[in-house]
A and B are shown apart, each in its own frame.
Chain A
Amino acid sequence: MTDLPIPTTTASDRARDIRAAVESRLKTRHASERRFKLYGQLAIAIALSFLVVLLGRIVTQGASTFVVHSISVQVPLDPARIDQTALEGVNYDIMVADAVLAKLGEKDDDYGTKSEAIKDLMSPDFGFQLLNMIKADSSLIGKTVTVSGPLRANADLYFKGEIKRASPEEERTLSNQQLDWLDALKSSGAVKTGFNFGFFTKSDSTEPEQAGVLGAVVGSAMMLLVTAFLAVPIGVMAAVYLEEFAPKNNWTDVIEVNINNLAAVPSIVYGLLGLGLFINTLGVPRSSPLLGGLVLALMALPTVIIATRSSLKAVPPSIREAALGVGASRTQAVFHHVLPLAMPGVMTGSILALAHALGETAPLLMIGMVSFVPGVPHGFDQAATVLPVQVFIWENASERAFHERTAAAIMVLLVFMILMNAVAIIVRRRFERRW
């Protein structure tokens, strides 16, 4: 009985000790919790600021591409200057330049220096427009026709503030006189500012003001089509076989490890493979969407297989048992029940793999897709260029006006990717079923 008070006091003592110990640590525990929350927020803030800087830079650099300065000129087609036997050889550019000079109320000197200087401000496209008009209808000779189009890139850059009058004359591509003329044309209302539709309706060109992304967009779309038609069915079938039918032995283990390794192979290696296998051995036309699609399909395959396998794994085994239990064969169980349930994951994985392939440049460099391709590809075996390669080509160009187009092409590429990812999300939402 004498023992009785002692354990009760020790018990309450212990309770008090425990509470004290817990409370003394409570502060540090809360502090560390706050700290970790802060770290997380900081990490997100840093990541977001990088993104904002990146996107901001691209947008500020590329936005000016979407504005274009264009002009309409009435050109008298003087029969004396047009040799009808050799229409191609006629110097139409000078006729355009003279017309612009007339508009400015100036006369060319005997050496033609003024018209040469004006020619530098006008896109050579005007000359081609005249040629095509006359070719189509030779009765136009002797009459006055109107041609319109963008100013030459340098003039455009002046209006956009890229070329400044303040900088010394010898350091800019335009002389003081050319700038005066441009100002005069602008104040007379001859130069119009508008949205650059040409950027979306034209393909690559040596003249920056004539260059657009249509060819690259179509090329990218065609290439992705080839990639999708190859990588998705082959990848899904391979994954279904490996996951649902293949015996689990050393062979399938080796295959599995190698698929995972393939996903990590640098993409340029696939370019080398494409060069060696598709071009040199199989004779696939180089620089074509078919070739690019084949190479990118090889690259996307491991990703599609891995995504499909993991979504097949996520389907609960009870669904397989249910199907087998009513007498479905394994193939029926897989294709009637398991694969449809895995479809959202398969689709998202595939679309993300394709979006990745869309932005891929390195392997395409190896298979000759870095080439100047004016115009839209008409077939899968025709030479084509794709958006990331177009960005690469323009970035390397020496003309300053191509740099804003580089940023604009990146914006187009990003929009393309965002659209694909949006499709992935919609598909996922749409097909997702719960069980």
Chain B
Amino acid sequence: MTPNGSSFSRSVMPMNRDDSASHEASTASGEQTAPAAVSGPSVKIRARDINVFYGEKQALFDVAIDIPEKSVTSFIGPSGCGKSTFLRCMNRMNDTIPICRVTGAIEMDGEDVNDRSIDPVVLRARVGMVFQKPNPFPKSIYENVAYGPRIHGLATGKDELDAIVESSLRRAGLWDEVSDRLLQPGTGLSGGQQQRLVIARAIAVGPEVILMDEPCSALDPIATAKIEELIDELREQFCIVIVTHSMAQAARVSQRTAFFHMGRLVESGATDEIFTNPRDSRTQDYITGRFG
């Protein structure tokens, strides 16, 4: 269950560099502090010096982390610690908040996602997102899944689109439950089914990364278990980043864990190591339930 070695960046902030540092410099210095993996999957997302401001208020301070490919990375931390904010940096959802300003570099496969040449629309097709509350479109189950492929032009005909919808629903573990009522509204499903529908919708556009923002916080334990099982299966194809309030969930589903506190990335590393042998006293306090 731990395919990734612990040699990944245990990148503890800060990394005293000015914000105007060039793309090359950031990569170079990133490699200094986070030596390349000896084994296991390569780095999918590399973040350096991420500062996020909501107006005057700074929400994230110099966050630097490497997120490996084809594995699950969980972000834990008390409410308001900035983990969701950081998650939303990765597919530039923060762009939609007018007062939000992001500095620093987030590279996906070596490309800066905040670069002018990167269209957020294309980026969000590559980096899918699942939200806290299941938010299917008030349309049919079929339309929910078909919407993404349709706007991106991924299918040339009805048959192809049908195939994408079916395979997406299958991969989200929902096909058997809904195959006979694809034309019924997606909002009529149960909470857990809705969340899996939303995951199918994200998968349908063929993303490389799936971001999940507390995907189980609105679900009962049985639905949660199904989602966790699904996450474990999806790990083989996608780079998954999950924000969770449940440390048990982080321990169950993720291979790597990052602990955020007061806008700073306190510690990140292999999940079993974080939970059994945290380096920072704050991590220790949090995972033992002393605060948060």
- Do A328 and B151 have beta carbons less than 8 Å apart? yes
Total interface residues on B, CB under 8 Å, equals 28
With both chains docked as a complex, state the minimum distance between the C-beta of B85 and any C-beta of chain A, in angstroms. 14
Is A319 on the interface with B (CB-CB < 8 A)? yes
With both chains docked as a complex, state the minimum distance between the C-beta of B226 and any C-beta of chain A, in angstroms. 21
| B254-290 to A contact mask, C-beta < 8 Å, 1/0 | 0000000000000000000000000000000000000
Given contacts A322-B137, A325-B93, A336-B147, 7 further A-B contacts (CB under 8 A): A323-B137, A325-B91, A326-B204, A327-B121, A327-B125, A329-B121, A341-B138
Q: Residues of B contacting A434 with CB < 8 Å? A: 138, 187
Total interface residues on A, CB under 8 Å, equals 23
Residue in A248, A318, A325 whose beta carbon sits within 8 Å of that of B98 in the complex: A248
Q: Residues of A contacting B30 with CB < 8 Å? A: none
Q: CA separation between A321 and B138, bound complex, in Å?
A: 14
Q: CA separation between A322 and B121, bound complex, in Å?
A: 13
With both chains docked as a complex, state the minimum distance between the C-beta of A299 and any C-beta of chain B, in angstroms. 32
State the B residues within 8 Å of A (CB). 91, 93, 96, 98, 121-125, 128-131, 133, 135-138, 147-148, 151-152, 187, 198, 201-202, 204-205
- Do B131 and A318 have beta carbons less than 8 Å apart? yes
- Do A324 and B93 have beta carbons less than 8 Å apart? yes
**How many residue pairs at the A-B interface have CB separations less than 8 Å?**
69
Q: Residues of B contacting A321 with CB < 8 Å? A: 93, 96, 129, 131, 135
With both chains docked as a complex, state the minimum distance between the C-beta of A174 and any C-beta of chain B, in angstroms. 68
Known contacts A318-B131, A332-B151, A337-B137: does B98 contact A327 (CB below 8 Å)?
A: no
With both chains docked as a complex, state the minimum distance between the C-beta of A83 and any C-beta of chain B, in angstroms. 78
With both chains docked as a complex, state the minimum distance between the C-beta of A348 and any C-beta of chain B, in angstroms. 18
- Do B93 and A326 have beta carbons less than 8 Å apart? no
State the A residues within 8 Å of B (CB). 247-248, 316, 318-330, 332, 336-337, 341, 433-435
- Do A435 and B187 have beta carbons less than 8 Å apart? yes
- Do B133 and A318 have beta carbons less than 8 Å apart? yes
Q: CA separation between A318 and B147, bound complex, in Å?
A: 16
Q: CA separation between A247 and B187, bound complex, in Å?
A: 32
- Do A322 and B136 have beta carbons less than 8 Å apart? yes
Residue in A320, A326, A336, A337 whose beta carbon sits within 8 Å of that of B201 in the complex: A326
Closest-by-CB residue of A relative to B148 is A326
With both chains docked as a complex, state the minimum distance between the C-beta of B287 and any C-beta of chain A, in angstroms. 30
Q: CA separation between A406 and B146, bound complex, in Å?
A: 58
- Do A326 and B135 have beta carbons less than 8 Å apart? no
10 A-B contacts (beta carbon < 8 Å) = A318-B131, A325-B93, A325-B124, A325-B129, A327-B121, A327-B122, A327-B151, A328-B147, A329-B121, A435-B187
Q: CA separation between A326 and B149, bound complex, in Å?
A: 9
- Do B202 and A325 have beta carbons less than 8 Å apart? yes
With both chains docked as a complex, state the minimum distance between the C-beta of A318 and any C-beta of chain B, in angstroms. 4
Q: CA separation between A320 and B96, bound complex, in Å?
A: 10
Q: CA separation between A318 and B195, bound complex, in Å?
A: 13
Q: CA separation between A214 and B195, bound complex, in Å?
A: 58
Q: CA separation between A55 and B147, bound complex, in Å?
A: 52
Q: Residues of B contacting A316 with CB < 8 Å? A: 135
Q: CA separation between A140 and B75, bound complex, in Å?
A: 101
